[in-house]
Amino acid sequence: VLRPDESPMRHLARLAAQTQPQTTTQDWRNWLGRFQFSGEMAEQAVGSMSGGEKARLLLALLVWQRPNVLLLDEPTNHLDLATREALTLALQEFGGAMLLVSHDRALLRAACDDYWLVADGQVRDFEGDLDDYQRWLLERARARMREREPQASSDAAPAMSTPTAIGQGSRKDLRRNAAQSRQQLAQQLRPLQREMTQAEQRLAALQAERAALEQELIVARDAARIAECGRRIKGIGDEEGMVEARWLELASQIEALQAG
């Protein structure tokens, strides 16, 4: 628990006395500096810090303890950019086991060696990377929509073909109402399907841009260009996450409409 009236240095000094008593004041300063608490910032009262800075300090104190296992559930939620970068670096250097649940594609790419797929009440190894997972999601949603289409047609058929003791006018009304329902459904689906197609095209473009930048980084020698490519790759990861979330939302809306 953070104490509002104490500084990062004071927090780490107390923790170090319990976990690594052989360390020095300079060791503490070096460690806090890795999490962007240097100079006056290391001596500033925690109570005056932002939420992101407090989260970064908690991360520094956690990793200092060198746990054997880390269980992290959406750790980048509500973190500022600096804290997200500090977390990524810390996890890359972490030597223990780690179970990470996150929608932050950039963090997953940087910190994870293996992926598990949680679906249909099962947890299993996923053979592939995040791009493969994106393709798996798209195909899964398309398959579900294809399954819905014949069901919707068969549900409409009995109302048209079942013999009943009704007049010709009533049959016309039924046919007209069914046609109006189909037209209304098509009107509702059309903009959603159009936006879904646009999202798929955008994801494909982002993946192609990422691949080109990664190839450029292999041979790049200019430091400024390397930094620029790195920033753009991170931006691509952030946008991919947003586009993917919107695609899943659209797929859910389409499935609900087709289910009636």
Instruction: For residue 242, give both structure tokens.
Output: 């947003």
Task: Report residue 148 as tokens.
Answer: 């819905």
| Stretch 8-28: mean pLDDT | 95
- Please give the residue that has the higher pLDDT: either 134 or 43: 43
Considering the chain, what percentage of its residues have pLDDT values greater than 90? Answer: 21
Read off the amino acid at residue 125.
D
Mean pLDDT of 210-222: 82
Alpha helices in the chain (DSSP H): 8-19, 25-34, 51-64, 81-93, 105-111, 130-161, 168-219, 223-259
State the fold for domain 8-113. Rossmann fold (3.40.50)
- Predicted TM-score (pTM) of the model is 0.53
Residue burial 14-51, b: 16+ Cβ < 10 Å; e: rest? ebbeeeeeebeeeebbebbeebbbeeebbeeebeebee
More confident residue, 88 or 198: 198
Q: Long-range CB contacts (< 8 A, 24+ apart) of 15-21?
A: 15/61, 15/64, 15/65, 16/64, 19/64, 19/65, 19/66, 20/64
Q: Give the β-pairing of 122-126 and 97-101.
A: unpaired
Domain boundaries, the chain: 8-113, 130-259
| Spatial distance between the Cα atoms of 212 and 208, rounded to a whole number of angstroms | 6
Cα dihedral 147→153→156→162 (10° resolution): -110
- Strand 115-119 relative to strand 69-73, pairing: unpaired
Between 82 and 165, whose confidence is greater? 82
Confidence of residue 159 (pLDDT cuts 50, 70, 90): very low
53 pLDDT above the threshold of 90 = no
